[in-house]
Amino acid sequence: MIKSYSAEQLDNLRQSGKILAGALAEIERNIKAGISTLELDKIAEESITKNGAEPSFKNYNRFPYSICTSVNEESIHGMPRADKILQDGDIISVDVGVRFNGMCTDAARTFPVGDVSDEAKALIKATEQCFFEAIKGLKEKSKVGDIGARIEDFIKTNTTFSIIENFFGHGVGERVHEEPLIPNFRPNRKTKKIIKEHVMARLPLHSVIAIEPMINAGVKESKVGKDGWTVTTADGKLAAHYENTVIILEDGVEVVTL
């Protein structure tokens, strides 16, 4: 069931989103060649906790860090490491979760490190634009499937990039992950039945979702690393990730993590 939230809960969600946006801004200020991804994790956790919130990813399903840091061909769920040092020309996707007064928000950005390739710039820009295409016309009673359809249409029409099809956006609120699952593509006849059930659902007023396009420069296929978390592109090409938490309104959406 897709939840709807009260006015008080939504106010706490907005504050959670504000704290998360601040943490992302602090991370962006510190991204440079020579910094480790573990240092970025510490910076994010300090930013979150000093504002009276907690990092919702930490210890979630035994994930030991406050943020996910995915570099270059790493798509999502990268684990911060002391020996993972950013280099000029890298790109890094940072995924952050915050819990404030019982309400969770979730957002991600892909940042360039120094001077990056034209392909990397185009990938980052296209992935971000996917989100804004996805929320066009989105409102109360919209179908979940409309989100993925808009993302797929944009990618296929404007780029040669591909969409990861085995990880999804999701509901968020009292928990880090709630219903519904939100594919970033238009489901077809071969799509698993459980996904079809979610994409046919309609979004109720004051429901909360995290829309998160995950786009690869090469093939859509991906694989999970030996750590059990880090997802990388199957062909070793670049990947990007962009995400925001949004409240569904009667006539549109409110993005709380910008």
Poorest-pLDDT segment among 25-29, 46-50, 222-226, 240-244:
222-226
pLDDT range class, residue 201, cuts 50, 70, 90: very high
Q: Which two tokens stand for residue 183?
A: 């594919």
Give me the pLDDT at residue 225, please: 93
* 192 has a pLDDT exceeding 80: no
d(CA 175, CA 199): 20
pLDDT range class, residue 196, cuts 50, 70, 90: confident
* 154 has a pLDDT exceeding 70: yes
* 197 has a pLDDT exceeding 90: no
pLDDT range class, residue 165, cuts 50, 70, 90: very high
Q: What is the pTM of this model?
A: 0.96
How far CA 28 is from CA of 64, 174, 203, in Å, comes to 22, 27, 32
Give me the pLDDT at residue 189, please: 62
Give me the pLDDT at residue 187, please: 80
7-255 folds as Creatine Amidinohydrolase (3.90.230)
Average pLDDT rounded to a whole number, residues 225-231: 95
Task: Give pLDDT tens digits for 46-95.
Answer: 999 999 999 999 999 999 999 999 999 999 999 999 999 999 999 999 99
Average pLDDT rounded to a whole number, residues 138-166: 97
Give me the pLDDT at residue 188, please: 72
Contact between residue 78 and residue 65 where contact means Cβ atoms under 8 Å apart: no
d(CA 258, CA 56): 18
Mean of per-residue pLDDT scores for the chain: 96
Phi, psi at 85, each rounded to 5°: -100, 125
Radius of gyration of the CA atoms of the chain, in A: 17
Beta strands, E only, the chain: 54-55, 67-71, 74-76, 91-100, 103-112, 162-163, 169-171, 178-182, 208-211, 214-216, 222-224, 231-233, 239-241, 244-249, 252-255
pLDDT range class, residue 233, cuts 50, 70, 90: very high
Name the one residue in this structure whose structure tokens are 């360039």: 112
Average pLDDT rounded to a whole number, residues 225-247: 97
C-beta atoms surrounding 180 within 10 Å = 24
Domains of the chain by residue range = 7-255
Contact between residue 103 and residue 9 where contact means Cβ atoms under 8 Å apart: yes
